[in-house]
Amino acid sequence: MHALPFSPATASLAGVPARLLFLLIPLVGAACFAWMMVRRMAPLMKAAPDARFDNIGERTILVLKVWLAQWRHPRYMLAGVLHIVLFLGFLVLGLRSFQLIFLGFMEHFTLPGFGGELGVVYNIAKDYAATAVFLSVVVLAYRRGVVRPARYAVPKELGKDHTGEAILVLGLIGTLLLSESAFEGSLLAAGTHGTATPYTLAWGFQHLFSGLSIPALGRINVASYAIHDLTFFYFLCLLPMGKHFHVITSLFNVYFMRLKPGHVKPVKYGVDDKGLDELTSFGVKKIEDFTWKHQLDFYSCADCGRCSDNCPANRVKRPLSPRFISIKGRDHLYQRYPVFGTDKTEAEPLIGGIYSEDEIWSCTTCGACEEECPIGIEYIDKIVDLRRGMVDEGMVPQSLQKPLSALEKRGNPWGKLEKKRADWAAGVGEGFEVKLAEKGDEAETLYFVDSMTSYDDRMQKIAQATARILTKADVDFLALGKEEKDSGHEVRRYGEEMLFQSLKEQNTEAILETGAKRIVTSDPHAYNALKNDYAGLPPVEHVSEVIAAGVEKGKLKFSPLADPSKTYTYHDPCYLGRHNGMYDAPRVAIDAIPGLKRVEMAGACKDRSFCCGGGGLGLFYEPEEEQRMGVLRVNMAKEAGANVIITACPFCLTNMEDAIKVAGLEGQMEAIDLCELVDGQLQH
């Protein structure tokens, strides 16, 4: 090893060996950072339990895909690609920064294994990484500072703009890159440090510094080292103070992210349904009631605004923005558990404090936010937990109390008579028979109709179409009739867990009683409830799967459309698509109809589908909003060039039909259920 012309480890500052300073900075910085991390962990230690230590393999794959490969980032192409450059650059340059810390007091320090060829390759890689990251930082700063995409805006009532923090951090990253490159460039210019990787920052600095004397280069070397060292530890200690905490937490947040969409967390992990009566309190009422993962979510939010950009409630100006569920939660945690100072111990209610009742009732649990979050932050379980807390305290708007009371007494949200639950069956038509469990009939398949399709005059047509399709597909089926209660899907998601448990028990008993070997439903909410919320039932299928299978087997054959001039588009219901990944079966069914022209609502279909306005109790809640979600959705269909919206959910259909009227598109746009469409074209 040849001697270097200069090194921070051998320099002296005003007669004092610089290495003392360069030893002190990391020690103080690391101690400070360690203290902050201990403080940040404090609330997590007291938080509610969360069972996330299972499925190591699946979680590891998620880390590789969502964290390392940044899978969700390109959903926003420019910001996503820039972030990927920044992220990968960080991983590469992290090693260099680590090495640099030691170079301050160990002149020839190299990372173990980086002494030989690997070190040479790494040096080239890190020089290009630094340059690429620097260019990204410039573009990102321009975006944040000048272009200012709308999704980063902070509504006035929610505090001040976050641009300053973003620009500060970009400035720090830029400073790290430039100082590291200047450090490298000074050594290169001294001519004793090999050759520069061409067209990199270090290469640029080498040329900039060429011709300077060795002492001058030595001063640049020490100065750039000192700047890098100070910036590095300042940045490190800044991370746990705001949105850049995600640099540290995102890895863990992704590892522990939720694995099963469509599911709702239990009231308390470790307490089964039978133990619920023993709990003294339900749901989340104060920040400490959240699980540790949900608190980690708050820490991890990078404030990127993708959740809120895709949140239908936010888009129609309901008082909900998922991004601020996180930001407000994070700030509240910071304030109750400060880095310096004592923890606040007196309980502070979240509702009426940082969150409002309307904010929490505004969510339709469509899942668009969770689908979008690049680091796996979840919202539905938090919203459900907050609602459980509100229900427990009696804070339920009158508009929801009525249907809940009716569900308790009659098993449907309108309080209609149980004995009329199968009235739809009378309209199926001649030659069709609907068997009913209430009459003691038996069949291999159970058609679970659920309340909306059973009682709503318009939606009964879906039940009737489904019955005809099932018959045509040679499915031997029966319905429960008055034995059926509401599936309770929204009852659970609106926080009334005990009522849900009661409905679940009644339905489970009635379903098992029939001896049916499988369940089919035409309501995605019932589908999700029976599949994911219930246990011990036969397999559950959505009717679109039955149709797709019938088409494949040749059992269902369709006549060509009478009017081939219309253009159709398919609206993915949230609880079929995002929550259960069923995107293909309905499309297969639709595309099997000869002469049907179908377009996609580009950028707003499949896992980016836009909620119609919400199902179940969502129909009863009266939110403050500027317009209906359905109206936005109908306009998306119009922009896609469609004049018929096909849905596969009774709630979507009712919301779409209302929205068509509100949007003034009657006569130009129509909505139809998949079952009605298929039934109309069936060859009998």
Identity of the residue, 480 or 499, whose beta carbon is nearer to another protein in the bound complex: 499
Given 54, 117, 277, 457, the residue binding another protein (CB under 8 A): 277
565 makes contact with another protein (CB under 8 A): no
405 makes contact with another protein (CB under 8 A): yes
Identity of the residue, 165 or 393, whose beta carbon is nearer to another protein in the bound complex: 393
Touching another protein, residues 417-436 (CB under 8 A): 417-419
Q: How many helices and strands, by DSSP H and E, does the chain display?
A: 26, 11
Q: How far is the CB of 497 from another protein (least distance, A)?
A: 8
415 makes contact with another protein (CB under 8 A): yes
Neighbouring residues of 128: CB distance < 8 A, sequence distance ≥ 6: 197, 200
Given 119, 174, 397, 538, the residue binding another protein (CB under 8 A): 397
Given 401, 458, 513, 624, the residue binding another protein (CB under 8 A): 401
**Total residues binding another protein (CB under 8 A):** 29
Closest CA to 387 of 534, 275, 282, 308: 282
Identity of the residue, 34 or 279, whose beta carbon is nearer to another protein in the bound complex: 279
Q: Is the alpha carbon torsion for 553, 559, 565, 568 positive or negative?
A: negative
**Rounded-to-integer distance, Cα 352 and Cα 232, Å:** 40
273 makes contact with another protein (CB under 8 A): no
Q: Which stretch binds another protein (CB under 8 A): 54-62, 187-195, 389-397, 512-520?
A: 389-397
* Distance of alpha carbon 200 from the chain centroid: 37
457 makes contact with another protein (CB under 8 A): no
* Distance of alpha carbon 538 from the chain centroid: 30
Q: Exposed/middle/buried for 467, CB within 10 Å: 0-12, 13-18, 19+?
A: buried
Identity of the residue, 454 or 522, whose beta carbon is nearer to another protein in the bound complex: 454
662 makes contact with another protein (CB under 8 A): no
Whether the Cβ atoms of residue 645 and residue 672 lie closer than 8 Å to each other = yes
**Rounded-to-integer distance, Cα 617 and Cα 444, Å:** 31
Q: How far is the CB of 402 from another protein (least distance, A)?
A: 6
392 makes contact with another protein (CB under 8 A): yes
Q: How far is the CB of 442 from another protein (least distance, A)?
A: 27
**Rounded-to-integer distance, Cα 400 and Cα 384, Å:** 15
393 makes contact with another protein (CB under 8 A): yes
Given 496, 545, 658, 679, the residue binding another protein (CB under 8 A): 496
Given 396, 636, 653, 677, the residue binding another protein (CB under 8 A): 396
Closest CA to 488 of 317, 280, 657, 273: 273
Query: DSSP letters of 343-355?
Result: PP-S---SBTTTB
- Helix residue ranges per DSSP H, 239-356: 246-255, 292-300, 306-310, 312-315, 322-336
Identity of the residue, 152 or 621, whose beta carbon is nearer to another protein in the bound complex: 621
Closest CA to 171 of 150, 149, 144: 144
395 makes contact with another protein (CB under 8 A): yes
**Rounded-to-integer distance, Cα 653 and Cα 179, Å:** 60
409 makes contact with another protein (CB under 8 A): yes
621 makes contact with another protein (CB under 8 A): no
The C-alpha angle with vertex 34 and arms to 33 and 40, in degrees rounded to 5, equals 90
391 makes contact with another protein (CB under 8 A): yes
Identity of the residue, 415 or 680, whose beta carbon is nearer to another protein in the bound complex: 415
622 makes contact with another protein (CB under 8 A): no
Q: Which stretch binds another protein (CB under 8 A): 228-236, 304-312, 396-404, 642-650?
A: 396-404
Q: How far is the CB of 441 from another protein (least distance, A)?
A: 23
Q: Which stretch binds another protein (CB under 8 A): 170-178, 312-320, 410-418, 641-649?
A: 410-418
Count CB neighbours of 124 within 10 A. Answer: 14
- Tokens linked to 503: 């409905």
Whether the Cβ atoms of residue 657 and residue 668 lie closer than 8 Å to each other = no
399 makes contact with another protein (CB under 8 A): no
Neighbouring residues of 267: CB distance < 8 A, sequence distance ≥ 6: 276, 279, 282, 283, 388, 497
360 makes contact with another protein (CB under 8 A): no
566 makes contact with another protein (CB under 8 A): no
* Distance of alpha carbon 34 from the chain centroid: 30
Q: How far is the CB of 614 from another protein (least distance, A)?
A: 19
398 makes contact with another protein (CB under 8 A): yes
Q: How far is the CB of 398 from another protein (least distance, A)?
A: 6
128: helix, strand or coil:
helix
**Rounded-to-integer distance, Cα 281 and Cα 297, Å:** 23
Give a three-class secondary structure readout of 83-98. Answer: HHHHHHHHHHHHHHHH
Q: Which stretch binds another protein (CB under 8 A): 97-105, 175-183, 395-403, 594-602?
A: 395-403
Q: How far is the CB of 400 from another protein (least distance, A)?
A: 8
Given 75, 258, 410, 597, the residue binding another protein (CB under 8 A): 410
402 makes contact with another protein (CB under 8 A): yes
Identity of the residue, 418 or 438, whose beta carbon is nearer to another protein in the bound complex: 418
Binding site for another protein (CB under 8 A): 276-277, 282, 391-398, 400-402, 404-406, 408-410, 415, 417-419, 496-499, 502
